Amino acid sequence: MGENKKDLDIFEMLEMEDAGMSDAIQAWRKGVYARQGLPRPMKELLMLAMCCVVNHEVGIPSHMKRAYDAGASREAILDTILQTTIIGGMPAYRRGATAYRNMFYGDNAE
C-alpha cells in the first residue's frame, strides 16, 4: 500500500486493486459505446450535457474533447452546453462554458 496512487487514472487504480471488477466495468463501458443507435459524436455530446448538469468536473472537458475529436462541431458543442440550462440552470451552463472557453480559447486551444 506504499505506492503513490494520486496520479493514477481511476480505472488504472481499479485494475490494480480489483482486476475482475475492472474488467467487468470496462466491458460494460465498451458495450454501451459499441451500440449503434446513436453516432459517437452524439453519445459524447449527451455525456457532456449530463456532466454539466451533475457537476462532473473531470467529465466535462473530457467528453467535450471526445465529442470534438469524434466530429462534433464547435456549434454543436456550444448548443449542447446551452441546452443544459433547461435542467441545470446557469450553473450547468457556466461549467460547460468555462470548459469550452478553456478548450477553444485557452493556451492549448484546438
Average pLDDT, consecutive stretches of 10 residues, N- to C-terminus, the chain (110 residues): 63 91 92 94 97 96 97 98 97 97 87
Read off φ and ψ for residue 6, nearest 5 degrees: -60, -35
Please list the residue range(s) of the chain that carry CATH number 1.20.1290.10: 40-105
**Angle between the N-to-C axes of helices 10-17 and 19-34, in degrees from 0 to 180, rounded to the nearest 10:** 140
Residue range 40-105 in CATH 3.20.20.220: no
Residue 78: count other Cβ atoms within 10 Å of its Cβ. 14
Q: Are 103 and 110 in contact (CB under 8 A)?
A: yes
Give me the pLDDT at residue 4, please: 58
Give me the pLDDT at residue 54, please: 97
Give me the pLDDT at residue 78, please: 98
